[in-house]
Amino acid sequence: MSVSKQHHVALTVRDLERSVRFYTRELGLIHDDTVALDEKAAYRMFGIVGVTVRSALLFTPRGHRIDLHQFSSGKNSRVELQFDRPGFQHLGLGVENLEDLGKRLELDGVEIVTAPFQTPTGEKLAFIRDPDGVVLQLIEENCWTSRLARIALPARLWFGRSRRRRAQALVGTAMSCSDLPPGTPPAR
């Protein structure tokens, strides 16, 4: 038996309504449901005595699930940005048009940790913080990497990094999806 897919990511938040607003309004996730766990159910699920939990289930437009949990325990420590610390580092979210999104987020007062920049492979990245200080990586894939990731994962795994770099050198540098001719189907 082995892992068949990633099921969901769960984040603990201080204020569930504020976090739901952030993830839906700022990042476009879809709020599906909010559920409450009494002390007995919270203990069964999380092993914590004497707390209740409210959870919001969010989905990306492509169906990936993110759960937000607010515990009644009142612990409010901010998540510190330590990329070299073992454990959770950041949550990566695929976006379109990162430049425009970054400008809008900044105007809305969202904390920008790293402004949008382009990587050597042509992807655009930015790091922001959610209302609780959780680090989110926003990723705008270029057409080469997004299509390759979706249609040729077995080949990528077989070829490995060095062969993939040689293949990319033969094809040329990555181009933005916006550089494609009108009517080109999007990567799925």
- Where does a domain end: 72, 92, 125? 72
Whole-angstrom CA distances from 125 to 75, 111, 140, 148 are 31, 15, 6, 18
Kindly report, residue by residue over 57-99, the tens digit of the pLDDT. Answer: 999 988 899 999 998 875 554 555 555 556 677 888 999 899 9
Phi and psi based region of residue 71 (left: phi greater than 0; alpha: psi -120 to 50; beta: remaining): beta
How many domains, the chain? 2
Within a domain: residue 45?
yes
Q: Identify the CATH number of the domain in which residue 23 sits.
A: 3.10.180.10
Q: What six digits make up the tokens of 27? A: 């990042």
Kindly report, residue by residue over 95-134, the tens digit of the pLDDT. Answer: 989 999 999 999 999 999 988 888 877 889 899 999 999 9
Within a domain: residue 87?
no
Residue 32 lies in domain: 7-72
Cα gap 164→143, rounded to integer Å: 15
| CB-count burial class (<10 Å; 0-12, 13-18, 19+) for 166 | exposed
Question: Which H or E run includes 21?
Answer: helix 16-21
